[in-house]
Structure 1
Amino acid sequence: MAEVQTIHDVACGFCGLGCDDLTVEVEGRQVRATAPVCPEAARLLRRLDTADPMARVAGEVNSQADAAKAAHHILAAARAPLIGGLGVDMAGAGAAVDLAIRFGGVLDHYASEGLFRNYAAAQRTGWLSTTLAEVRNRCDVLLVVGDDPSATWGRLFERLFPATPLFAGANRRVIFLGGAPGEKASAQLAGANVVHHATTDAVAALEALGSLTAGRRPPGGSFGGIDADTLAGLAEELRNAHYAVVTWNAADLGDGDLVAERATALVDTLNVTTRAGVFPLGGRDNIIGVNQLLLWRLGYPLRTAVRGQTSSHDGTLFATEAALADADVLVWISAFRPEPPPDFGGKIIALAHPETVFDKEPDVFIPVGTPGVDHAGTVFRMDSIVSLPLGALRVATLPSVAEAVRRIAEG
């Protein structure tokens, strides 16, 4: 029996929060997180001592080398590839861009919808954003718009509201405008004053709140199902705050771009007399890092097409769902989790988590290792400020995405 090795201060790259205080036990090839850990990290870090799947071509087991050659031939004949998923570390993202430069193709992350809803607001008005550290240490009033985000980011309020912030006072306040806080959020916010206002229309409530904060009372008795006097009291709280922050998850809000726009306008008003910022939530599977890398390499964010020596960006036309309508090959990359590719009638090359279950057998399947488990890597935190190094927890038997892509390019 292998000796159990306990590793402390392990960094997690799955949700974008960038927690780097996990304790993990490794026994041979088995990996299990102990504490402190959220359910998602516990599930995605866990590994059993079982054999990894082999590469497959047209459903038949093949060597990694032969699978890479098959993928090369498919891409060489492709007219309009889509390189999607893009759940990769920074090295894998760089390799994906190299692949697009070599064979052409559209580049998009599977979780980019929320990012581009936020972009729509930022492009129209700009915004004053803050960081996780600023919220953690300075924010005294946090306005949470939409459903309780701790369902997605299990340790969010633990990270944002520590017992002893550096600068914020003792009377910290969290206002939920939308869904009620669940048990997890309530437990993590036990030291804060928590208030919940249910709303049927977050955009209308935020717009009225912005007007009231600016000293203008809009006509009407309620907005989004919230009494005008209640919103007026909330506006007064925000004006009196030392550092107010508005946060939301655009991916879960159908009108997320409008929520982002109204939140930005509210923060702009507050900054005339006090200090405030927006803290948009996101960051799943290193989407922030991948987006940063495309900006560095190509001058455009995700949803960019590379053809020949030129690249062009269109946030609508080159979104995965739209790009699939024109694509003949889908290169699906998902190293962090067993996220299956979308329904697609063309050829599929999957560089995917070994536990991925496919609705349709890919033309080429190359199982890849997970950054932070099978190999080292780097990811970006959701606030775009911190790049987080991930360490290997066990001896790898699968290639990284960067290695697999290099083999495909070489043919």
Structure 2
Amino acid sequence: MAEASLRTIDDVVCGFCGLGCDDLTVEVEGREVRAAGAVCPEAARLLRRMDVPDRGPSIAGAPVSLDEATQAARRLLGEARAPVFAGLGVDMAGAGALADLAVRFGGVLDHYASDGLFANYAAAQRTGWLSTTLAEVRNRCDLLLVLGEDPSATWGRLFERLYPEAPLFAGAPRRVVFLGGAPGEKARRQLAGAEVSHLSADDVVAALEALGVFAAGGQPPGTSFGGVPAQDISALAEALRGAHYAVVTWNAGGLAQGDLVAEFATKLVDSINLVTRAGVFPLGGRDNIIGVNQLLLWRLGYPLRTAVRGQASAHDGALYATGQALADADLLVWTSAFRPEPPPAFSGKVIALAHPDTQFDKEPDVLIPVGTPGVDHAGTVFRMDSIVSMPLGALRVATLPSVAEAARGLAEG
């Protein structure tokens, strides 16, 4: 048997974290896939594939054919009174097929990374916001305010993407201020061309609220706020007001009071915009949550955390969150194609359209392993700023169905 030739593929798009990096180099040898060159650890881990047979379908842990697994899953869907379609780590084609499945059988739709999204929604609903895009931050932002912990632990190339060496419009020096946790070594390395400072805060919400008052021309009572001296917060407010284009960014999903951080960040930007230009840049986008949310808005008129029953749909950001919805559910349809994310604990029946490397505490009633978009098959995802869709290409010959193919199989018959 001839040895498989080694192929090097440039400009590969990564669909895992929401940054939409499109400059990866990947080596493919037979069905083995590995990242080459400089790449973030998350992309390297999730792109890695060995040239070994993929796990096959199963019923309660016993191997079966794909047809048998599909028929068993279809029976469970037909018998269910209150299904929950959760996980939803899928590309756009998979999201559309799962939405069709929910419309046919009824059920709640939610993504496993939606906590941060809905924390931001809560702020936007109360105050509205002026948001910016990745391109605008890259090319125009001269003062970036980062709230909470260093986000580069989750978005490995974030500051490399936000602050390139040669922006189109922003002049030097460019500044980055961390309010909360300190920047790590990776962040400082990526921001080597910028002026980086850190204000350590033990209560980001309190410090941010005071910052908004200072930026609006007020004088809040007190000598420190959230552990930050008043004079430091006042100086930061003046710097924001004096910037050409200030941007405030945060990861609501990683903050205990993410909705309040989002609300006060929005109010701060509103104040700054009276004297200069500013915008918010909320972080998120893991496993195409932005794209799935967009699709449901187009299809149902509601975002994630929506229940479909008959010809009607209803949205409730609290009642239809996965954890709450499962309290009243009798079937969990779990989907995670981008990563081996296991489903939450659930006492009812489970159908899993899952990454073949997923480790389960308890084997699902029906498991249909699926391919990964951007590795096993082509697909489309949305970037975290929601305005750009990114095409994913297939890197190897697939032996597993895509989520769209598996979901359409469940809908037939």
TM-score higher than 0.5: yes
SS in 1 for 2:88: strand
**How far is 1:209 from its partner?**
0.5
What does 1:169-188 correspond to in 2, within 5 Å?
169-188=171-190
Counterpart in the other structure of 1:271: 273
Counterpart in the other structure of 1:379: 381
SS in 2 for 1:9: strand
- RMSD (Å) for aligned C-alpha atoms: 0.5
Q: Does 1:197 align with 2:199?
A: yes
What does 1:243-254 correspond to in 2, within 5 Å?
243-254=245-256
Instruction: Give the whole-Å Cα distance in 2 for the aligned partners of 1:374 and 1:217.
Output: 57
**How far is 1:101 from its partner?**
0.5
What does 1:22-33 correspond to in 2, within 5 Å?
22-33=24-35
What does 1:18-57 correspond to in 2, within 5 Å?
18-57=20-59
Instruction: Give the whole-Å Cα distance in 2 for the aligned partners of 1:39 and 1:68.
Output: 35
Instruction: Give the whole-Å Cα distance in 2 for the aligned partners of 1:235 and 1:405.
Output: 51
The residue type paired with residue 250 of structure 2 is W
Q: Is the 8 A contact 1:13 1:372 kept in 2?
A: yes
SS in 2 for 1:267: helix
Structure 1, unaligned runs of 5 or more: none
What does 1:206-225 correspond to in 2, within 5 Å?
206-225=208-227
**How far is 1:58 from its partner?**
1.8
Q: Does 1:403 align with 2:405?
A: yes
The residue type paired with residue 129 of structure 2 is W
Runs of 4+ with deviation above 3 angstroms: none
Instruction: Give the whole-Å Cα distance in 2 for the aligned partners of 1:344 and 1:400.
Output: 25
The residue type paired with residue 261 of structure 2 is V
Counterpart in the other structure of 1:132: 134
Structure 2, unaligned runs of 5 or more: none
- Please list the CA deviations of residues 317-350 of structure 1 after superposition, one character each: whole Å capped at 9, or x if unmatched: 0000000000000000000000000000000000
Instruction: Give the whole-Å Cα distance in 2 for the aligned partners of 1:299 and 1:360.
Output: 36
The residue type paired with residue 102 of structure 2 is A
**How far is 1:35 from its partner?**
2.6
Counterpart in the other structure of 2:350: 348
Q: Is the 8 A contact 1:380 1:387 kept in 2?
A: yes
Q: Does 1:240 align with 2:242?
A: yes
The residue type paired with residue 159 of structure 1 is R
**How far is 1:373 from its partner?**
0.2
Counterpart in the other structure of 2:316: 314
Instruction: Give the whole-Å Cα distance in 2 for the aligned partners of 1:198 and 1:393.
Output: 44
- Please list the CA deviations of residues 104-155 of structure 1 after superposition, one character each: whole Å capped at 9, or x if unmatched: 0000000000000000000000000000000000000000000000000000
Q: Does 1:325 align with 2:327?
A: yes
Instruction: Give the whole-Å Cα distance in 2 for the aligned partners of 1:407 and 1:95.
Output: 10
Instruction: Give the whole-Å Cα distance in 2 for the aligned partners of 1:74 and 1:227.
Output: 59
**How far is 1:59 from its partner?**
1.5
Q: Does 1:73 align with 2:85?
A: no
TM-score, reference length from structure 2: 0.99
Counterpart in the other structure of 1:339: 341
SS in 2 for 1:331: strand
- How many equivalent residue pairs? 411
Instruction: Give the whole-Å Cα distance in 2 for the aligned partners of 1:202 and 1:299.
Output: 34
Counterpart in the other structure of 2:370: 368
TM-score, reference length from structure 1: 1.00
State the identity as a percent: 76
